[in-house]
Structure 1
Amino acid sequence: MIKRLTMVALAFIVSLNLGINGTFASENNNEDSINEKFGLPILVLGGSLTDAQKKEVRDMLGVTNPEMVEEITVTGEDLVRFIDGEDRNARMFSSAKITREEDGKGLVIEQVTPENITEVTDTMYANALLTAGIENATVQVASPVKVSGHSALTGIYKAYEVSGEELDTERLEVANDELNLATDLANEEGIEEEKVSELLADIKQAIADQNPATREDIEAIVEEQLAKLGINLSAEDRQRLIDLFEQMRSLNINFDNVKDQLGELSNKIQDKLGEVVNNEGFWQGVKDFFQGLVDAISGLFGDGTEDESTN
């Protein structure tokens, strides 16, 4: 009886693992053909990685043929070149593979190692990249060690520079400020990460729709979106949010150009928020399954064994 229950439990666990990791393998181990219009995908490796870690990252990002990518390294020197006031001695571990796409494709962000990117979500990356002026690309992010994930942004900027794109450094700095604010709101204010992304995307969408002409207009949009999402911020963070979007307004960032991508990003955020709710039922089912398994085993030996199962 115990052997049978054990086999059932193992089968259940294996089916979960195949369902999750099987998709991962099929999506990440195939190298696509080269789009001759844009050239090779660019693999950006963090300059602080050891040779062994670089090989690990190549494997993570599905790079089996070095001739199918253009490989570059990003360092603290690049960080200070793109972002004023940063530390040139910063350690860079986050890495990325960037594949430029045709117009209309939008931004597709995939964190290949989400367990090692501790602060930045894929929708946070997408929000910041749209602010920086980067669109229509597939971006995969990976790290072999636990990191915040911020340095991947610099690597993506360098990849575009190498490919011949001229990015506006003022926009890059605002995008960096946006990413810092997003992670701060999640960490310090305790707001759900996707909720933060939703707030930023919705404010941009409102800016595109309303074309605010003054700081007061920006304040009104920020207040409206905070109220709509039921988000309460400290006075300091509320001011940081207003200052951020006032910077965007003063730089004349035209979100009309990426309206479709903003809409698509909002849809992805809603899907992710929905997954959190839906997964509650799934994980309750997992809990019930194992609770039933424990109860069945306990029944074989009587009631003297204490239930030490954890949630």
Structure 2
Amino acid sequence: MRKTMIILAIILIGMLIPVGFSTSDSQVVITYGETTYNNAGYKNTVDNFFTTQAGVDLNTVGSKIISASDVNKISSTITGKTYSSSQIFSSALVDLNENDDLEVSVDKSKITTITGDMYISALKSAGITAGHVYVTSPVSATGESALAGIMNSYEVATDVEIPETVKEAANQEIYTQAEIVKNSDVDADELSKLVDDVKEEVIVNNITDHTTIVNIINNYTINNNINISNNDIENLADTIEQIQNVQGDINSYQSEVSDVFNDTTTQANDLLGGLFN
């Protein structure tokens, strides 16, 4: 009798859960670099990667185009670089249906500089801690410009805008790490761990003094036998200091995004609890 009741309950769950509450493609968003989007062959290559890796039906997924001007709004204030419409290749898919933890899958055959750990570190700096992100390009690319598209995808999927100060800090982190990796022999994941560990210490102890942050980084490089220049250490300290200075904006954004996820979870628990009761 008990088995029969359980089976009936499972059937009822399938019948009674609202359509809008099921796994929704509205929580999957793709951002294409404009160069990729405007080239049918490039777009097809990127779409094949997303279909294979993410297992989603791209015909039902929302998408946006990230233009050179979108990237330049950020890059020009950080590195002074400006990109043309023929240089924006990196594309990303964000799936918020997988929202238990933050995961990033990078097409290592095409993305040459930025690693999954670097994206995770920068996204966490922006207050993003959930979802599965996929990053690729139809041709070899550093992956630096992809972060703008990733954060844009999160804004579309959650309907919560990321503060500009937070975007700038997260992008500054990506660009700084990319430059260090390109100009030194340091391992990318090793550098990402350095940044994560130092950020954690700075945030936990509420450190805002630049010299103190420099000393923390310097001690970390010595203890872990990481060889980067004094200039690199200074640039990392500037980046981490910037992130620390916008913690108020990060916390505010996190609170709003958390509400989005918690609302969905609460609806599920209420519905299932009511059925089994």
Q: TM-score, normalised by structure 1?
A: 0.64
Deviations 1:98-151 (A, max 9, x none): 011566x2210001x211111111111111111122220100111111111112
May I ask how many residue pairs the two structures share in their alignment?
A: 223
Alpha-carbon shift at residue 84 of structure 1 (Å): 5.2
Q: TM-score, normalised by structure 2?
A: 0.72
Match of 1:66 in 2: 58
Q: How does 1:291-310 map to 2 (within 5 A)?
A: none
Q: Which amino acid aligns with 1:205?
A: E
The secondary structure found in structure 2 opposite 1:87 is coil
Question: Where do 5+ consecutive residues of structure 1 fail to align?
Answer: 1-32, 259-311
- Aligned residue among 90, 114, 127 for 1:133: 127
Q: 1:110 to 1:248 in 2, by over 3 A?
A: same
Q: Which amino acid aligns with 2:23?
A: N
Counterpart contact for 2:75–2:82, Cα < 8 Å:
no
Q: How does 1:27-176 map to 2 (within 5 A)?
A: 35-36=23-24, 39-49=26-36, 50-62=39-51, 65-82=57-74, 85=77, 87=82, 89=84, 91-101=87-97, 105-111=100-106, 113-163=107-157, 164-176=159-171
Q: 1:183 to 1:83 in 2, by over 3 A?
A: closer
- What RMSD over aligned residues (CA atoms) do the two structures have, in Å? 2.7
State the structure with more CA Rg. Answer: 1
Structure possessing the higher relative contact order (Cα contacts under 8 Å, 6 or more residues apart): 2
Q: Which amino acid aligns with 1:46?
A: G
Q: How does 1:173-188 map to 2 (within 5 A)?
A: 173-188=168-183
Counterpart contact for 1:101–1:136, Cα < 8 Å:
no
Alpha-carbon shift at residue 55 of structure 1 (Å): 1.8
Structure 1 Cα separation of the partners of residues 194 and 144 of structure 2: 20
Q: 1:77 to 1:256 in 2, by over 3 A?
A: closer
Counterpart contact for 1:34–1:40, Cα < 8 Å:
no
- Structure 1 window deviating more from structure 2 (169-178 vs 64-73): it is 64-73
The secondary structure found in structure 1 opposite 2:135 is strand
Q: 1:57 to 1:73 in 2, by over 3 A?
A: same
Match of 2:216 in 1: 221
The secondary structure found in structure 2 opposite 1:89 is coil
Match of 2:204 in 1: 209
Alpha-carbon shift at residue 48 of structure 1 (Å): 0.2
**Identity of counterpart residues, as a percentage?**
25
Q: 1:224 to 1:151 in 2, by over 3 A?
A: same
The secondary structure found in structure 2 opposite 1:61 is helix
Q: 1:143 to 1:107 in 2, by over 3 A?
A: same
Alpha-carbon shift at residue 190 of structure 1 (Å): 0.8
Alpha-carbon shift at residue 217 of structure 1 (Å): 3.2
Structure 1 Cα separation of the partners of residues 179 and 232 of structure 2: 9
Match of 1:16 in 2: none
The secondary structure found in structure 2 opposite 1:96 is strand
Structure 2 Cα separation of the partners of residues 157 and 255 of structure 1: 13
Q: How does 1:231-242 map to 2 (within 5 A)?
A: 231-242=226-237
